[in-house]
Amino acid sequence: MHPSSCDTFVALPPSTEGQRIIFGKNSDRPCDEVQEVVYFPARDYGAEEKLECTYIEIEQVPHTYAVVLSRPAWLWGAEMGANEHQVCIGNEASWGRESTDGDEALLGMDLVRLGLERAETAEEAVDVITELLEKYGQGGPCMEDDCGFTYHNSFLISDRKEAWVLETTAKYWAAERVESGFRNISNQYSITTKIDKEHPEMREYAQSKNWWDGKSEFNFAKVYSFPTTARIEASGSRYCEGKKLLEKSNGHITAETMMGILRDKASGINMEGTFITTGSMVSVIPTNPNLPGVHYFTATPDPERSIFKPFIFVRHINPLKETTSPTYGTDDPVKKKPRFQSKPDRKHELFIKHELVAAIIDTYKDRGKKIKEQMRKLEKENMSQMEKFLEHGVEIPDFLVNLFSSSVQQEMAAYNKS
């Protein structure tokens, strides 16, 4: 059985070049699922307003922060994203001793978006997510057309100074602070004995289930992990390979390094098959609060055949139309009961163009090689331009309101010439 989810990475000084934090994630999802990249500005809300997430309605907060998200086009939440305070979050499916069956509640992807919309720091995001988990729970189908695909969630969260790993099982959880070096997570629990925050009843519950004797050193991964399965073994292999790739560049990890890791197929990190890498993200966050973070997204499958395009938070950003999927309002099958029926076409403009070019790359070796060279050249030019902002800041923010969309249009123009 092949693993059915993703990998998330973070590197902090001194493992990175310069005083920067590098965050990266592949979103591995069903091969026919479309991932979109969308932006939502900061907003204020009234005291009695409610918020409709993927399956359930929850209480809204008075203010939400601006966010950029990469998400499966059928749901409310997100696989990964960042907010205006340079908090980045990615989630992973996780399976342990606790059953993932249950009523529809908050998806882990909903919790990613909620953490970004409501937290100014990585630690605050941990608190936001765990409080929502306690109040509303997690659960529900995690695929548009498969009611049996359910899981609990692990999260990797970073900001300008540190990162946190948060791993959950039903309502129970453990969190580990990462202050330097690098860390990655996959589809297995990875927090062992270093636990910096935890659910107050987590240990007592484990003891009541006879998973822990109450005397030996408490190891979260050992206590809450399910006995080994093919899925766990495969994700463990991918986790180890990702760790090796980070170690290989330790002290010199850059955005290019992270993109290379996300593009690596030999390790299984760049996934192929019935589950594929449907979207990728790399963020570069200077520790200097006066410098902007740069967030790169593909918005297309397979980072090896995609371009990472930059996004910078400034005021008055325009909607990201080229990477926003069609919406169907009350006619959307997700809003109906029963919801598992034929799926509507959710392909956005960039996805359609990329799909055609990907077919050419697969079919015509020489032509495909030239197209990929053009794609890398365009990506490198964009990244060179972003280095100026990362080093010196943004003097005229209004010039960047269309940064991501302009990069997408450049990509599509290159495809048209192909």
Catalytically annotated residues: 6
List, in order, residues 6 or more apart from 80 with CB less than 8 Å away. Answer: 8, 25, 27, 69, 70, 88, 89, 90, 91, 112, 279, 281
With b meaning 16 or more CB within 10 Å and e meaning fewer, what string describes 288-309? eeebbbbbbbbbbbbbbbbbbb
CB 143 within 8 A of CB 158: no
Per the listing, tokens 């960047």 go with 400
Structure tokens at 18: 């310069």
DSSP secondary structure code for residue 138 in this structure:
B
Adjacency order of strands within the sheet including 152-158: 35-40, 67-72, 80-83, 88-94, 152-158, 163-169, 172-178, 197-198
With b meaning 16 or more CB within 10 Å and e meaning fewer, what string describes 157-183? bbbbbbbbbbbbbbbbbbbbebeebbb
* Separation CA 214–CA 295 (nearest Å): 44
Residue 10's SS3 state is strand
CB 180 within 8 A of CB 88: no
183: Cα within 13 Å, side-chain hemisphere: 21
Structure tokens at 392: 């010196």
Helix axes 365-392, 349-363, angle to 10 degrees: 130
DSSP secondary structure code for residue 201 in this structure:
T
CB 197 within 8 A of CB 191: no
Closest C-alpha to 54, from 329, 347, 334:
334
* Strands 88-94, 152-158: pairing kind: antiparallel
